[in-house]
Amino acid sequence: MPAHDQPPTAADLGLMQDSRPSPERLVTLANWQEPPFNRWAFQHFRELVPTATIARGEGPVTELPHAPRDIDSLRFASVSGAPTTVARMLTATYTDALLVLHRGAIVAERYFNGMTASTPHLLQSVSKSITGTVAGILIERGALDPAALVSDYVPDLAGTSFAGATLRQVLDMRTGTKFSEEYTDLKAEIRQYEQVIGWRPRTDPQPTDDLWSYICALSNARPHGAPFEYRSILTDLLGWILECAGGARYAELLSRELWARLGAEHDAEIAVDGHGHPVADGGISVTLRDLGRFGQAYLQGGFFNGSQIVPGAWVRDCWQGDDEAQAAFAASPQAARYPGGMYRNQWWVIDPVSGVYLASGIHGQSVFVHLPSETVVVKLSTWPEALDLRFAEEHVRAFEAIAAAL
Amino acid sequence: MPAHDQPPTAADLGLMQDSRPSPERLVTLANWQEPPFNRWAFQHFRELVPTATIARGEGPVTELPHAPRDIDSLRFASVSGAPTTVARMLTATYTDALLVLHRGAIVAERYFNGMTASTPHLLQSVSKSITGTVAGILIERGALDPAALVSDYVPDLAGTSFAGATLRQVLDMRTGTKFSEEYTDLKAEIRQYEQVIGWRPRTDPQPTDDLWSYICALSNARPHGAPFEYRSILTDLLGWILECAGGARYAELLSRELWARLGAEHDAEIAVDGHGHPVADGGISVTLRDLGRFGQAYLQGGFFNGSQIVPGAWVRDCWQGDDEAQAAFAASPQAARYPGGMYRNQWWVIDPVSGVYLASGIHGQSVFVHLPSETVVVKLSTWPEALDLRFAEEHVRAFEAIAAAL
């Protein structure tokens, strides 16, 4: 693929390069999610919204050994039908960084668009799988029970639309909550929600700036326990549940229970709203290798850095799920995306038999875990569109080709 | 002093301890500067506003040796006239952290109110002395000239009230700019300014969210070259000048020129406005020991961590100044605070003969450099009032007593 087909970098575009950028080079709260401004914004998210530190703690870094392989020239059948290579896929899908781990060793580690090994990159909904992990840890400890009502943990929910909803329904996105995630529909709940959490300029009349109040005011479109429907707000609710059950603010809880134990190299960070509430569904930023450590912990059944960081039963449940979760997914509009798969514990399951599953975020964030080949692929990107189904499928095709070659 | 005289900590007050704090425990953009909310906010500033990372880089940490001494029982004459001790002063003045360095070794290092060695604490106007330091570095390199017009570096200033102002006048706060810093006057420019930079909820009609536009729209109350008058906005302008002369955004410039070279232990951070412009006058947060390294670099004439990080001539000029700066200070309303002193290069000079000077920020931030005794004292605090002249004097009395005892 010739060099001129490469998408321009933030530096090529001059984004935020000058002391007073011209409007077409200025990244603000109003445009950061749009192309090409997201090319800069996803690596500088703390410069746009308030964030809390997820401390890595004082422990040693878990070193990842190196076992380099040429993956660029790997061939696979593109979603377009034509043969392509991993290198072409990386260029075509606005890649900011790629990490391939095989049996725990770094096979490939690539940075693009100005990103470096110490750059935190916005994860969008990969954050959900991290938030779910903290839930799994608290469940193992008995501080949470998937069968319990969410109002058992968050009493404020008792008189709301979440009365009667279980933690399991939240984990698998099966409450009856009315919340449209259609990014292209300007009237969808997700658009109002973005103002609530401070990710978009607030209009007049201004919505609440308190995410918990917003959650309490939601309504239901159907009974709880319905088929799977992807709604980010349910992971924000999970963050609130975790704070109540874990007895700490989410950033502190995530640091204590997961980030510090992983032996992460860098502090991570999470966006917070105007009341300090965590945007647990999409607001986490981490560095590439630290996200690789997270994926590798899952590949290893939760045992990492010398201890069982994530409960083994939880990890297995994330990719095996159960018949009910599979049926709930099969009955959903998303079933065609991963036939025979499911959405379980905040992960997308491709193959619940052999164990192939992924964390996925809009604009091209992925943690792909492939048990049969003992491979983890992490890809951070800034696609022009939030949800580009062709790019999403191209990712998975490339990841499976990499896994097959290792 | 009995324990019940200690000011309550953020934890005592329950500030931001629960998943849904009650209003009297909730810290927001609207109340964070007020007591007691500042007890929490100054250690969590990134959770309230957008911030940029000031990277420490990849180099080794400059270790500070330890030479502990009992300073708590040191006696001195309080501003009230009664004898007191350093320990009582620390309690009475809402201390968050204290570091005493003597000949480069840590004599005392104390943390209060939940602060730790890795907590970044908001510096307020101690930030000015850091920003001035970058100016000193660029001046030595020939990239800046104190005698030049500020519009030589920032062409956008040519048609504004800053036409004709020199960099020297900005460094010593002697332009004619109209900008009231009276924190208790709700109509003072500083209050509008807080909305511009996003440090206070924006009212309707909203002011610009672009600090550079705000600067360009200011007017003069008198000719440039007037007596000293403390105006924070001039340091923000200095930040803009630095970006233009240094060819990089301020956070990157500060990292490259100073923070990475100091061998800092932690990344620092700086608040940015809605256009990514740096709040160079007061928005920097750093850890206690890193601020000690900064002060120690000044004590050592700019030579630190094995090289001349800050030009020796600049450092000397910061505390010696010149006759004109002394006269400009003597003619100002602040002259009584430091008789025979001055404001020079973004530092407050107490004694320009022997070399006693300090960086100072509202609510009790200080870096005190005492050349004769080879002492640096760093104190981070959360006074209830922005500018408490009794507390400010108590600080200096205590610092001088510590210096005298070492």
Give the count of beta carbons closer than 10 Å to the beta carbon of residue A83: 10
For the segment A344-372, the average pLDDT, to the nearest whole number, is 98
Q: Checking phi first, is residue B358 left (phi over 0); if not, alpha (psi -120 to 50) or beta?
A: beta
Confidence (pLDDT) at A2: 41
- Cα–Cα separations (whole angstroms), residue A92 to A109, A117, A122, A364: 18, 22, 20, 12
Q: How far apart are CA A238 and CA A179, in angstroms?
A: 15
Confidence (pLDDT) at A6: 84
Q: Does B27 touch chain A (CB under 8 A)?
A: yes
CB neighbours of A396 closer than 8 A, spacing ≥ 6? A350, A358, A368
Q: Give B374-395 pLDDT, tens digit per residue.
A: 999 999 999 999 999 999 999 9
User: Domain with A318 in it: what CATH number?
Assistant: 3.40.710.10
Residue found under tokens 């939601």: A218
Residue B24, token pair as written in the block: 């009297």
Residue of A26, A243, A275 lying closest to B26 (CB–CB): A275
Chain A closest-CA separation from residue B194 CA (Å): 16
CB neighbours of A184 closer than 8 A, spacing ≥ 6? none
For the segment A304-333, the average pLDDT, to the nearest whole number, is 97
Phi, psi of B100 (to 5 degrees): -120, 125
Q: How far apart are CA A280 and CA A313, in angstroms?
A: 23
Instruction: Report whether pLDDT(B78) > 50.
Output: yes
Task: Name the average pLDDT for chain B.
Answer: 96
Does residue A218 sit within a domain?
A: no
Q: Does B212 touch chain A (CB under 8 A)?
A: yes
Q: Give B291-320 pLDDT, tens digit per residue.
A: 999 999 999 999 999 999 999 999 999 999
Chain A closest-CA separation from residue B212 CA (Å): 8
Chain A closest-CA separation from residue B164 CA (Å): 21
Is-catalytic flag, A285? no
Does residue A291 sit within a domain?
A: yes
> Closest Cα to residue B406, out of B354, B380, B371?
B371
Phi, psi of A86 (to 5 degrees): -60, -40
Instruction: Report whether pLDDT(A109) > 70.
Output: yes
For the segment A302-321, the average pLDDT, to the nearest whole number, is 98
Q: How far apart are CA B404 and CA B406, in angstroms?
A: 6
Residue A184, token pair as written in the block: 């292209």
Does B51 contact A46 at a Cβ distance shorter than 8 Å? yes
Q: Which residues of A touch B51 (CB under 8 A)?
A: 46-47, 51
> Closest Cα to residue A348, out of A362, A363, A338?
A338
Q: How far apart are CA A135 and CA A245, in angstroms?
A: 9
Does B51 contact A51 at a Cβ distance shorter than 8 Å? yes
Q: Does A154 touch chain B (CB under 8 A)?
A: yes
Q: Does A44 touch chain B (CB under 8 A)?
A: yes
Q: Does B213 touch chain A (CB under 8 A)?
A: no
Helix (H) or strand (E) holding B377: strand B375-381
Q: What's CA A190's distance to the chain center, in Å? A: 16
Residue B26, token pair as written in the block: 């909730």
Helix (H) or strand (E) holding A253: helix A250-254
Rg (CA), chain B: 20
Q: Helix (H, G, I), strand (E, B), or coil: what is residue B379? A: strand
Confidence (pLDDT) at B184: 78
CB neighbours of A392 closer than 8 A, spacing ≥ 6? A337, A360, A364
CB-CB contact of A159 with A149 (8 Å)? no
Residue numbers of B annotated as active site: 125
Does B118 contact A29 at a Cβ distance shorter than 8 Å? no
Q: Does A384 touch chain B (CB under 8 A)?
A: no
- Cα–Cα separations (whole angstroms), residue A301 to A25, A315, A396: 45, 6, 22
Taken in order A227, A228, A233, A238, the sign of the CA dihedral is positive
Does A243 contact B47 at a Cβ distance shorter than 8 Å? no
Phi, psi of A237 (to 5 degrees): -60, -40
Q: Helix (H, G, I), strand (E, B), or coil: what is residue A21? A: coil
CB neighbours of A170 closer than 8 A, spacing ≥ 6? A150, A234, A237, A238, A241
Residue of A28, A154, A212 lying closest to B274 (CB–CB): A28
CB-CB contact of B158 with B151 (8 Å)? yes
CB-CB contact of B110 with B33 (8 Å)? no
Q: Which residues of B touch A50 (CB under 8 A)?
A: 46-50
Selecting among A78, A125, A232, A255, the annotated active-site residue is A125
Within chain B, how many helices (H) and strands (E) appear? Answer: 14, 15
Q: How many Cα neighbours within 13 Å face the side chain of B247?
A: 2
Q: Does B61 touch chain A (CB under 8 A)?
A: no
CB-CB contact of A120 with A287 (8 Å)? yes
CB-CB contact of B299 with B328 (8 Å)? no
B203 versus A319: the higher-pLDDT residue is A319
Does residue A55 sit within a domain?
A: yes
Instruction: Say if strands A268-271 and A121-122 run parallel, antiparallel, or are unpaired.
Output: unpaired
| Domain residue limits at A90 | 3-127+251-256+263-405
Does residue A24 sit within a domain?
A: yes
Q: Is the peptide bond before A207 cis (omega within 30 degrees of 0)?
A: no
Confidence (pLDDT) at A1: 39
Confidence (pLDDT) at B1: 39
Q: How far apart are CA B289 and CA B301, in angstroms?
A: 19
Number of domains in chain B: 1
In this predicted complex, what is the ipTM?
Answer: 0.96
Does residue A112 sit within a domain?
A: yes
Confidence (pLDDT) at B169: 98
Residue A250, token pair as written in the block: 């989410």
Q: How far apart are CA A176 and CA A179, in angstroms?
A: 9
Instruction: Report whether pLDDT(B3) > 70.
Output: no
Give the count of beta carbons closer than 10 Å to the beta carbon of residue A170: 25
Task: Name the average pLDDT for chain A.
Answer: 96
Instruction: Report whether pLDDT(B369) > 50.
Output: yes
| Longest CA–CA separation in chain A, Å | 60
Helix axes B233-246, B126-140, angle to 10 degrees: 30
Task: Report the side by side order of strands in the sheet with A356-361.
Answer: A105-111, A95-102, A375-381, A365-370, A356-361, A347-351, A342-344
End-to-end CA distance of chain A: 24
- Cα–Cα separations (whole angstroms), residue B269 to B52, B121, B255, B293, B304: 6, 10, 10, 16, 21
Q: How far apart are CA A102 and CA A123, in angstroms?
A: 22
CB neighbours of B323 closer than 8 A, spacing ≥ 6? none
CB-CB contact of A61 with B53 (8 Å)? no
Q: What is the DSSP string of A162-183?
A: TTT-BHHHHHTT-S-B-----T
CB-CB contact of A271 with A283 (8 Å)? yes
For the segment A110-128, the average pLDDT, to the nearest whole number, is 98
Q: Give A164-221 pLDDT, tens digit per residue.
A: 999 999 999 999 999 998 877 878 899 899 999 999 998 877 889 999 999 999 999 9
Does residue A164 sit within a domain?
A: no
Residue found under tokens 């943690």: A367
Q: How far apart are CA A359 and CA A119, in angstroms?
A: 20
Q: Helix (H, G, I), strand (E, B), or coil: what is residue A273? A: coil
CB-CB contact of B53 with B272 (8 Å)? no
DSSP letter assigned to residue A220: B
Does B249 contact A19 at a Cβ distance shorter than 8 Å? yes
Confidence (pLDDT) at B2: 41
Does residue A365 sit within a domain?
A: yes
For the segment B227-249, the average pLDDT, to the nearest whole number, is 98
